[in-house]
Amino acid sequence: MTAWLVTGGAGYIGAHVVSALLDAGFEAVAYDNLSTGKRAFVPDGAPLVEGDILDTDAVTSALTAHGCVG
């Protein structure tokens, strides 16, 4: 199964999106720089990739490493 990359996935809204994706049977990856997000907010079952959305190489690497489609 392919996964979804959720930017800001360790924030309040992003963590809820990750949770909803997991509940719907999808795989989800939280991508966050943790400037305001919290590691503890990321639901169990979802990996957290620490990185900045402005670092396109890091985003591309996370997408590829986790088989993300969006």
In order along the chain (70 residues), what is the average pLDDT of each group of 10 residues? 93 98 97 98 98 97 92
- At 37, list the tokens: 């997000």
DSSP letter at 40?
G
- 64: phi then psi, degrees, rounded to nearest 5: -70, -45
What pLDDT does residue 70 have?
72
What pLDDT does residue 26 have?
95
**Beta carbons within 10 angstroms of residue 43's beta carbon:** 16
Question: Bridge partners of 70?
Answer: none
What pLDDT does residue 10 have?
99
What pLDDT does residue 2 have?
81
The span from the CA of 26 to the CA of 17, in Å, is 11
Looking at the domain 3-65, which fold is it? Rossmann fold (3.40.50)
What pLDDT does residue 69 have?
85
